[in-house]
Amino acid sequence: MKNAKKIIAFLMALTLLVSTIQMPVMAATTKKATIKTVSIVKPETKTLVLKAKKSYQLKTKVTVNGKISKKVTYKSSNEKVATVSKNGKIKALKKGKTTITVRSKVNKKKKTTLKVIVGTPVKSVKLNKSKVKTQVGKKVKLKATVSPKKSSVKGVKFTSSNKKVATVSKKGVVTCKKAGKVTITATAKDGSAKKAKCTITIKKKKTEPSNKPGTPNKPGTPNKPVTPNKPVTPNKPDDKDDQDNKGDEDNKLSYDGYNLKWEDDFDGDALNEDDWNYEEHAPGWVNSELQAYVKSDQNVYVKDGKLVIQPVKTKNEDGSYSITSGRINTQGKHDFTYGLFEVRAKVPSGKGFLPAFWMMPTDENLYGQWPRCGEIDAMEVMGQETDKVYGTIHYGSPHAEKQGTYTLENGNFADEYHTFSCDWQPGKITWYVDGIKYHETSDWFTAVEGETEVAYPAPFDQPFYMILNLAVGGSWVGYPDDDADYINTQSYSIDYVKVYQKDSYNEDVEKPVNEVIIRDPDANGNYVNNGDFAKTEDLTDDIDWKFLTTLEGEGNAVIKNKAIEIHTDKAGTVDYSIQLVQPSIPAEKGGEYTVTFDAWADEARTMKVDVSAPDRSYKRYLNDTVVDLTTEKQTYTYTYTMTDKPDANARLEFNFGATDSTATVYITNVSIKKTAQKEIDNSKKPLSDGNYIYNGGFQEGKNRLGDWTVTNNCQAVVSVTGLADGKG
């Protein structure tokens, strides 16, 4: 017991001793608290479009290491356009662009930005398909459209609900990888969260039978469809799961209220010359075209219920070649003021072909020679781009135009017949492919520059006749290769032409008023966004910089090292075959603007720079200035004065096509600044004929009384007849 007590006492003493000894203590390793990222979670897009006077609450996220403040600050780069509160609430004030910067309070280097556009948000997104059934290995092309058409940002982002089943490219091409069901969503890029969905059901690939392929049809003798569409009494769209634009009745052609007025089904043995006229013209008559239009049953004939326009290339005695083709019209035989004009046709394939179905006024002198007289192109398809159709009107002086295009998601217009329709009404012209609307316009005029416009809807208020032709080569479509052997093997085949009209039309229409709002430049006075290329961009959308190729141009562009590099693989046939543009460049009347940029190339070469007007048929403000580039970085400066009316949507262009060199071009430090305001002479000048009396013919302006003041103290009825009435 004694020993036990001694042991206990010893242990207690030992414990006391240890507790009094100063032991070294290892310092704890503590990581410094840091801000990892600052991000915006709402909206989910890089750009937000708001209507003026509207507000939007941002939602942000700050990720950290350790315990540290997650508070942020908000700042707008242009508070005249939009402000942002300390809580992240954006208030849109007036049309324009600004950048909202969200920055950490404790680490100002940690930040993110959001581009805000005060303009027109997207109200809806629509896909060309809502449901699709297909097979593994197939591709489906989805096309998204947003409304309204004047939306400030028209791009969408495509996503797949299951990438193992199907993936989707940024252009909407779906690759079907395995059997299953997947939903593809197209979401507006403007922050509106508007979206559309397409459900795709993918089945296993079928085993194809090993049948021997059939004998193809000879060119010029296409098979007549077993049951051709005859929309005299059109059926409603089939209620199928894969029906295009299902539920989108606004974009579908309706024949309600229309009566069939005239048609040609080409069921005879030859062209009916009671309905059609042959045109004969020498090569180069218009548009530098190669063919001669002749009256020949080799070039225009009817066979198997089809009208065929056949180009013929023959070798001359001197070794050169000649090309003939056909052009027919209904002038003086079938002329119409307003109506639904329709052709069912199959086009030829090959570089340089340009088949067309279009209309010209019966009296081309009524409002003045082309383009003042007007022209309606219901259908044009380039032979080297047979999946795309153009619908266009031409008018005004200088020449102006409005154009829309439609690209097939699968196939092309050369492989099978398609229906092309143009609905011309007072104050509105609409284009359709296979009953689906793709373009509409109400904005046109007829006038000589500097003079008052003829009363709207002139020139499209007079009788027009129809034209069918096949051009070979030309200034727009380009030319066949010298050794092209396909000219004699291709043809333009027309199944029918039909014209529908309503019982009556309301011609009391007014021209739409387009408000011009000039946006403010940035803090440095620059109207060019991202001119130093400090930020990378999606060069395919409609925001800031955009890279384009067309007409055999091939290449790409990339932003790096605070410059943009333009790589050209093929220069194409026109200067704009390879193009870098930035839209929405404003210009005030009388403003002097200076364009400045740094540029160089891998070898000495040229490019063209211009500021154009897309809303004014691409009028040139810099006159396609040629820039001589060297391998040394140089600064280039050009100046122009805006003498025209204000333009809120000019476009800065760099054009690299149709040159001898395909050397890479580098551009940076791009700016457009207003450097002066000049007085523009607005004094009344004599008209082109020397007359100081404006609108002496009482056909111009509102109610045809432009430039006249009517004092009416006795309540008299004052009206003016129109030239198209035959009473002018």
Give the position of tokens 């600052």.
38
> Is 375 designated active site?
yes
Closest CA to 200 of 177, 181, 174: 181
Phi, psi (rounded to 5 degrees) for 250:
-65, -25
Close Cβ partners of 36 (under 8 Å, ≥ 6 residues apart) = 63, 64, 65, 110
Strand-pair partners of 597: 636
Cα-based distances in Å from 474 to 76, 107, 477? 51, 62, 6
Which H, E and C letters describe 396-431, residue by residue? CECCEEEEEEEECCCCCCCCCCEEEEEEEECCEEEE
CA–chain centroid gap for 161, Å, is 28
Beta strand pairing status for 300-303 and 306-309?
A: antiparallel
In this structure, what token pair is assigned to residue 667?
């551009």
> Is 380 designated active site?
yes
In this structure, what token pair is assigned to residue 416?
């099978």
Half-sphere CA count of 292, side-chain side, radius 13 A: 12
With contact defined as beta carbons under 8 Å apart, do 221 and 491 qualify?
Answer: no
459 cis-preceded (ω within 30 degrees of 0): yes
From 289, 342, 375, 653, active-site residue: 375
Give the position of tokens 């027309």.
494
Closest CA to 511 of 459, 442, 446: 442
From 208, 263, 317, 380, active-site residue: 380
The conformation of residue 518, written as its DSSP 8-state character, comes to P
Closest CA to 424 of 436, 413, 416, 432: 432
Query: In angstroms, rounded to a whole number, what is the distance separating the alpha carbons of residues 178 and 181?
Result: 9
List the beta strands (DSSP E) in 443-491. 464-472
Cα-based distances in Å from 409 to 12, 125, 245, 636, 709? 91, 17, 13, 42, 54
Query: In angstroms, rounded to a whole number, what is the distance separating the alpha carbons of residues 300 and 326?
Result: 6
Q: Which residues are catalytic?
A: 375, 380
